[in-house]
Amino acid sequence: MFKVPKVIDKIQFGILSPEDIRKMSVLRVITADTYDDDGYPIEKGLMDQRLGVIDPGLKCKTCGQKFGDCPGHFGHIELARPVIHVGHAKDVYKILKSVCRDCGKLKLDASQREIFQGQLLSATDRLKNREIIVKEAMDKAAKNVCPWCGSDKRSIKFEKPYTFYEEWGEERNKLTPIDVRERLEKIPVEEYELIGVNKEVSKPEWMVLTVLPVPPVTVRPSITLESSVRSEDDLTHKLVDIIRINQRLRENIDAGAPQLIVEDLWELLQYHVTTYFNNSTSGVPPARHRSGRILKTISQRLSGKEGRFRSNLSGKRVDFSARTVVSPDPYISINEVGVPDFVASELTVPERVTAYNLEEMKKIVRNGPNKHPGANYVIRNDGKRKKITDITKDDVAEELDIGFIVERQLRDGDIVLFNRQPSLHRLSIMAHEVKVMPYKTFRLNLCVCPPYNADFDGDEMNLHLPQTEEARSEAGIIMKVQENIISPRYGEPVIGGMQDYISGAYLMTREGAEFSAEEVEECFYESDVLSTKVGVEAFQERSKIWTGKNMFEVLLPKDLSVEFRSKTCKKCEKCEFANCKYDNYVVIKEGKLLKGVIDGAAFKARSSCKLLDKIVKGYGADEGREFLDSVTKLIISVIMKVGLTTGIDDVDIPEEGLERIDEILENAHNKVMENIEAYKGGELEKQPGQTLEDTLENRIMAELAKARDNAGGVAEQYLGMKRHAVIMAKTGAKGNMLDLTQMAACLGQMTVRGKRLHRGYQDRSLPHFKRGDRSAKARGFVSSSYREGLSPTEFFFHSMGGREGLVDTAVRTAQSGYMQRRLINALQDLKVEKDRSVRDNSNNIIQFEYGEDGVDLSRSAYGEAVDIDWIVHKTLALRKS
Amino acid sequence: MTKKKINILDNEFVPEHTILTEEESNEILQKFNVTFDRLPLILETDPVVKIIGAKSGDIIKIVRSDSPAGKSVFYRYVIGEDTKQGLEEDSVDEIIDEEPGEE
Ligand SMILES: [Mg+2]
Ligand SMILES: [Zn+2]
Ligand SMILES: [Zn+2]
Ligand SMILES: [Zn+2]
């Protein structure tokens, strides 16, 4: 087990004093070299063995412990001249501005001091906390002349990142770090409080370094490459630079070298110490490795996505997790996840042995680690953890007693968390029940794809196994898939039917869909509802013909009454409602599907579907899950009997239709030419607020858009419900009519940034056209359809438009990812309190009522607080009965 | 063209703002069990605040009537420009704000 060397009780932040640094140091480092020619660490060098061990087998010369046990020990460097600590430069500036250059006191008179000190004593509220008071006091002092000694007014100028000047009149004097340190030393301790320094742990002069700590070698281990060449850590490289310059500076000072040379070296030392702390300080050229790579120094180790915080503290690698490819399984419940058996035998749950499960646990232990469901470890009552092997399994089972903890393998019914990145909303992690299965992929019900945004083109997902009873029950109660059918974002189902489930429902329930008793019995058997939802006796009469509607209603709650327009609704001028002659108005009364066809409008995921949400909201999540599980199985069973396919002939249009389309496009082309002629002849009338060119462009665009729509309209007349592609589009299963008309009739205008294509070559879009040609064909109008195929120029135009789409999505995802991060950081600890107000973790009120209306979207009706139509409908239904 | 003086309170998008009396203020603080500094803030120089004449230290009640659940009530504590400056991070450029970069 890992030994805890020290238990952290509290943390106090302060500045290290030179004495502190020397006290914690085991060695003054004076040599810039690391290893000698034999590869042995040089004494008093940066790799001195007293600084810790990084080679297995060696012992630490300070504490005598082995590699891994010795935490490493700090050394130090005595700087020949002090340097400013970049991280403190700004604070130094603020202090210098507000204290007197001669007496070191804060430039406030006695009465002002008293006011601020009084405020500090009673500083509690957010609007006037210590920081704000200190800032006010210092700002005020900075504007004053010293009231204590009347020293003349000289202003301090700060040049980023670490240079200070003093200015008076026309004169200007550079302050060296020595000058700065002297001034800070002069500040009396009584002033510390008012300049925001905690006198218990810090002194302002410590912000100017005279001694530099050298981190232990365990912090900057060297690595040996395959060629047995040692490669040093970036921090070591930087420390080498510092020691070298420090040494040269000291030698020059001792030899009495000219001031100029000393100052140059001093500046160089300041540079190296600065980049050692932070190699991305603005205004300082970053230090580079010999290869030209920018060195990663202390600040770079901590910040950013790959830094200590985001990659080791906010997020880390965890045990009891698994990751593999996902694949679909329509026969498992939406609540379940298929887990490969080899994953299941690796993941374990600790389970305490009680009088009630002793026998069961014995049986599991007897299975050993290699037979599922087995156990991998037991923890005995004396706290000893024992591995179970095939040899010891029977002995361990014998020994098993109440109080033992068995680390049993994952088995059917266990609750696990399932996740797919990017985890953009809370539905990206949901709780599933395990179903152990053969093969190597996680299996997922297709209805749960939308919230995870998963498909099966190689997507991988993560699985986490909660280890305590509380965690498991919490996950099972609030994170279960069935509890998340209704989205907390818009109050509509995010889990529901998609693709074939939608077109299949249409094929099953449309007018004229009839099935023999035998077929129906088979379908119900396959969807596991035979004898639960419908008894076998319903199929006694073998010659009875079932309609699809009869089949569908079997799965509905017996007292459900609801009416809605189906997705295929033709949106007639005057809706006939229940008498719709196209069977597009769904009437469900007391669990009977009397009229209408079931399609996307009933149970499609991520749409304001009208049936699924009623079941979930009215009958609960269990009923919702049951409905989805059974309806999807029933539909695939039916669709396999009916058949659904699509092909190029789905967009075939008879000759006469093609002629009409050609005519429309021809006319449009002529109209465009007329417009161009008018423009050239100066007869075109300018639209208000537009240039003549814009007017022309807009007219042409409008003309061509109208032509495409008309051509599409003609095509649509021939695209009837006999074609399966049309079924998919109209029911909301996949695609839309625009896609189909682009396949059948005409693609239309290609655009980049909302304009017709015109750039690429001088005054033309492609070299195939004359310069300045404004005709439809030369500016990216594609009159071919996908079915016909595109001409070479059209093909280029098409790819130009397509490229913009790709770039847009790439840019959008990057930008929205960054925004998401900022939002999460800003909102992560907001919480709805018992009084329904929203507050942050310092109890600041953000909203007085959640969302300013107190509505929980997942209990709402499509985002509205109440669904008036539904309430009226239910009330009327009650009245009638 | 002559400049017309517009009263922004007449605009339908400007919700109703009222200054709370001392008792009302205390009532609100008591109801939510907070001190005044935990309330959302509004600047003394806010156009509406200037018109209704609220001063730093007042609590303003804002009633919006466009909420799906009818009226929604909000309270804000009025602060002066100086308090605002104190609250502001003294240099925004120092907040390490990584670019979206490779993400
Ligand atoms: Mg994918
Ligand atoms: Zn050691
Ligand atoms: Zn003075
Ligand atoms: Zn209709």
Model confidence over A77-88: pLDDT tens digits? 999 999 999 999
**CATH number 2.60.40.1930 given to A321-484:** no
User: CA nearest B102 in A: which residue?
Assistant: A814
pLDDT digits (tens, 9 = 90+) for A446-457: 999 999 999 999
- Burial classification of residue A203, based on how many CB atoms lie within 10 Å of its CB (0-12 exposed, 13-18 middle, 19 or more buried): middle
What's the rounded mean pLDDT across residues A852-876? 79
pLDDT for the residue A321: 96
Give the fold, CATH level 3, of A507-642: Enzyme I; Chain A, domain 2 (1.10.274)
pLDDT digits (tens, 9 = 90+) for A288-317: 998 999 999 999 999 888 888 888 888 888
Q: Scanning the structure block, which residue is given the tokens 């869909």?
A: A513
| pLDDT mean over A11-38 | 92
- Ranges of chain B whose pLDDT falls below 50: 91-103
| CA neighbor of A143 nearest in space, from A102, A108, A104, A168 | A108
pLDDT of residue A814: 87
Q: In this complex, do A855 and B103 lie within 8 Å of one another by their Cβ atoms? A: no
Binning chain A into helix, strand and coil, the percentages to the nearest 5 are 40, 15, 40
Signed CA dihedral, A767, A768, A771, A772: sign only: negative
Contact (CB, 8 A) for A517 and A539: yes
Task: Enter the tokens of residue A576.
Answer: 């006939």
Q: Positive or negative CA dihedral for A426, A428, A434, A435?
A: positive
pLDDT number for residue B69: 66
Contact A427, A452 (CB under 8 A): yes
Q: Look up residue A236 and give its amino acid.
A: T
Query: Does any CB of chain A come closer than 8 Å to the CB of residue B65?
Result: no
Q: Which of A418, A427, A473, A472 is nearest to A450 (CA)?
A: A427
Sign of CA dihedral A843, A844, A849, A850: negative
Lowest mean pLDDT among A202-216, A220-234, A661-675: A220-234
Q: Which of A738 and B92 is assigned the larger pLDDT?
A: A738
- Give A112's DSSP letter: H
The sign of the CA dihedral A757, A761, A764, A767 is negative
**CA atoms of A763 and A544, how far apart (whole Å):** 73
pLDDT over 80 (residue A4): no
Looking at residue B67, what is its pLDDT? 67
- The β-bridge partners of A325 are A460
pLDDT category of residue A817 using cuts at 50, 70 and 90: confident
Check the annotation: does A609 bind a ligand. Answer: no
pLDDT bracket for residue A881 (50, 70, 90): low
Q: Measured between CB atoms, does B42 come within 8 Å of chain A?
A: no
Binding residue per annotation — A103?
A: yes
The CATH code for residues A648-806 is: 1.10.132.30
- The count of C-alpha atoms lying within 13 angstroms of the C-alpha of A502, restricted to the half-sphere facing its C-beta, is 32
d(CA A787, CA A373): 55
Taking an 8 Å Cβ-Cβ cutoff, which residues of chain A contact chain B?
90, 125-128, 132, 135-136, 303-305, 814-815, 817-818, 821, 835, 837, 839, 842-849, 852-855, 863-865
Q: How many residues does chain A have?
A: 881
pLDDT at A106 over 80: yes
Q: Say if CB A394 and CB A366 are below 8 A apart.
A: yes
Please tell me the predicted confidence (pLDDT) of residue B83.
76
**Does pLDDT of A443 surpass 90?**
yes
Mean pLDDT, range A551-573, rounded to an integer:
87
Q: Tell me the two tokens of residue A757.
A: 């294509």
pLDDT on residue A563? 86
What 3 state SS string does A343-403 have? Answer: HHCCCEEEEECCCCCHHHHHHHHHHCCCCCCCEEEEECCCCCEEECCCCCHHHHHHHCCCC
Range A358-376 average pLDDT = 91
Q: Domain coordinates of chain A in residue numbers?
A: 26-73+215-310, 84-208, 321-484, 507-642, 648-806, 829-881
- Of the pLDDT bands very low, low, confident and very high (cuts 50, 70, 90), residue A160 is confident
- Say if the Cβ atoms of A852 and B39 lie within 8 Å: no
Q: Which residue has the higher pLDDT, A418 or A878?
A: A418
C-alpha A518/C-alpha A199 separation (Å) is 90
Helix H or strand E encompassing A698: helix A692-718
ipTM score of complex:
0.88
| Beta-sheet strand order (sheet of A385-387) | A348-352, A405-409, A375-379, A385-387
Give chain A positions within 8 Å (CB) of B41: 127
β-strands A336-340, A429-437 pairing:
parallel
Identify the helix (H) or strand (E) that includes residue A860.
Answer: none
Contact: B38, A843; criterion CB under 8 Å: yes
Beta bridge partners of A586: A564
Instruction: Specify the CATH superfamily of domain A26-73+215-310.
Output: RNA polymerase II, clamp domain (4.10.860.120)
pLDDT at position B99, please? 47
Whether A126 sits inside 8 A of B37 (CB atoms) is: yes
Query: How does residue A40 score in pLDDT terms, banded at 50, 70 and 90?
Result: confident
pLDDT tens digit sequence for A564-602: 888 888 887 888 777 888 888 898 888 889 888 999 989
- Percent above pLDDT 90 for chain A: 60
In Å, how far is A9's CA from the nearest CA of chain B?
A: 29
Q: Is the pTM of this model over 0.80?
A: yes
Report the length, in residues, of chain B. Answer: 103
Burial per residue of A761-783, b for 16 or more beta-carbon CB atoms within 10 angstroms, e otherwise: eeebbbeebeeebbebbbbbbbb
Across the interface, whether the CB atoms of B36 and A814 are under 8 A apart is answered: no
- Structural domains for chain B: 8-83 (3.90.940.20)
Q: What is the mean pLDDT of chain A?
A: 90
